Amino acid sequence: MKKNYLKISILTLTLILIAGMAFSCENKNNNNHENPEPPGQQGDVTIYVTNASRTHDFEKLAANFSSKPNMSPSTINIDPAVRYQTMDGFGAALTGSSCYNLLKMPEANRTKFLKEVFSHTEGMGYSYIRISIGCSDFSLSEYTCCDVQGIENFALTAEETDYIIPVLKAILNINPSIKIMGTPWTCPRWMKINNLVDRQPFNSWTDGQLNPDYYQDYATYFVKWIQAFAQNGINIYSITPQNESLNRGNSASLYMEWTEQRDFVNSALVPKLKAAGLKTKIYLFDHNYNYDGISSQNKYPAKIYAGGVDDEYVAGSAYHNYGGNRSELLNIHNDYPNKELLFSEASIGTWNDGKNLSVRLIEDMREIALGTVNNWCVGVIVWNLMLDNERGPNRPGGCTTCYGVVDINTQTYAISKNSQYYIIGHLSSVVKPGATRIGTNGYNTDLTYSAFENTDGTYALVLLNTGNNKTITINDGVKHFSYEAPANAVVSYQWKKLDN
């Protein structure tokens, strides 16, 4: 009798254990998205997370779609039927100083860093680079590519051939589709005059104006520079006629009011590009939101558009954020919605607590990254990919207080990553060139965000959370998923579109 009871007890216990395991598995599957397990790196949704304390340091995570109805009030809905601008890309300036620092690194260290930044498969996928036409304030010397009078004397210098071009070629080996913008800080000094009335020669790297008698030669200078890079296998995607056109200071500069830029672009630059068969895009202005407080220069690019431009070449205008408010981007877009906007420069430094990620990550993501994209910019480029631990090399009269996107210790080659490294990476890692910004609505407490549809059949959303930890559900109209965004963090999401 005892044996029978023992058999029944063992059988009963076995059945109870099996039923309990089945219930546990079912319960786990049903509640996976309401009580998620710690995320891993594989799932339906790829996630990158950085918070101000760096406990998440561009950490790659994942989430899965939910199979349950979405009842969350904290839902962001994306609406691909609402279409905004098409994105060109995101990146940083590759100055002579940056290239000098990069080439001082051991080759293996340099390759590792460049892949980390520029590779679409092994890194962040930066997709836009800005370089100077001639010197900038982060060059190894003051120079142009035609310092001897006569445009026939044009030639690339050692800064291009020994530093910039080798680094660009290394980047192109990693990311062949990278876009490159060229911008001059000054024309050759022999083309300068003191003002447009007296027209006296002005032999200075800083200040002065372009002599109208040399408009054609200076346009040829641009053409020769673009062609010289092409001969080295480097395509120049876009140019601006002048960096900070209303800035009379800096280590090298040229003052160019809107009427001058209009006349130079329309009468010389566009015709010369066209005659050479070049399709390089032109972005006007390339300076601050507030036009440096010069009332006669307000709406600088819009004034040029009003007089008529060649739309095939003049794509739009570029802006920096050293003065004024990004709302000016929307003002210009509303006046000329057919013209593109590009954010082409922002710096961090000693003046804005540039090494303090707890301050700069939030501010820069809100103002520079998402703030410009949500105001119609097709690209975002920040200033100076790599500087050393002495904030250089730099030029007297230029910025001696700037930090780089990253800074490198020249003794140990250790790299410190600053806010701009992260804000560009959070965009470029999930938003690819050719993506379209699309509509969003829903939950926005302590949040700034923007959504995109990539050309490869994926959606992306980049989000800034300035509040406490919060679980946010993202709904694309077909599927939804949830993820707990950390406090004071940037989160980037990318997932494949699914049909109904």
| Per-residue pLDDT tens digits for 119-149 | 999 999 999 999 999 999 999 999 999 999 9
For residue 20, what pLDDT is reported? Answer: 42
Instruction: Please choose, from the candidates 293, 422, 287, 306, the residue with its C-alpha nearest in 3D space to the C-alpha of residue 366.
Output: 422
Contacts of 259 (CB under 8 A, 6+ apart): none
Q: In the beta sheet, which residues pair with residue 441?
A: 77
For residue 500, what pLDDT is reported? Answer: 64
* Mean pLDDT, rounded, of the chain: 93
What is the fold, at CATH topology level, of the domain defined by 88-430?
A: TIM Barrel (3.20.20)
Query: What Rg, from alpha-carbon coordinates, does the chain have?
Result: 27
State pLDDT tens for residues 431-472.
999 999 999 999 999 999 999 999 999 999 999 999 999 999
CA dist., res. 60 & res. 56, Å (int): 9
Range 3-10 contact pairs with CB under 8 angstroms and sequence separation of 24 or more = none
Evaluate whether 402 touches 348 at the Cβ level (below 8 Å). yes
State pLDDT tens for residues 172-193.
999 999 999 999 999 999 999 9
State pLDDT tens for residues 321-341.
999 999 999 999 999 999 999
Q: Is the pTM of this model over 0.95?
A: no
State pLDDT tens for residues 201-218.
999 999 999 999 999 999
Range 54-59 contact pairs with CB under 8 angstroms and sequence separation of 24 or more = 54/357, 55/486, 56/486, 56/489, 58/124, 58/422, 58/425, 58/426
CATH class label, 38-84+439-496:
mainly beta
Could you give the residue ranges of the DSSP H alpha helices within 187-326?
215-231, 258-264, 270-275, 300-306
Residue 165 pLDDT > 90: yes
Name the more confident of 38 and 428.
428
For residue 42, what pLDDT is reported? Answer: 86
Instruction: Please choose, from the candidates 431, 408, 181, the residue with its C-alpha nearest in 3D space to the C-alpha of residue 286.
Output: 181
Domain residue limits, the chain? 38-84+439-496, 88-430
Residue 482 pLDDT > 90: yes
Q: What is the DSSP string of 88-110?
A: -EEEEE--HHHHHHHHHS-HHHH
For residue 41, what pLDDT is reported? Answer: 74
Torsion region of 494: left, alpha or beta (phi above 0 gives left; psi -120 to 50 gives alpha): beta
Residue 32 pLDDT > 70: no
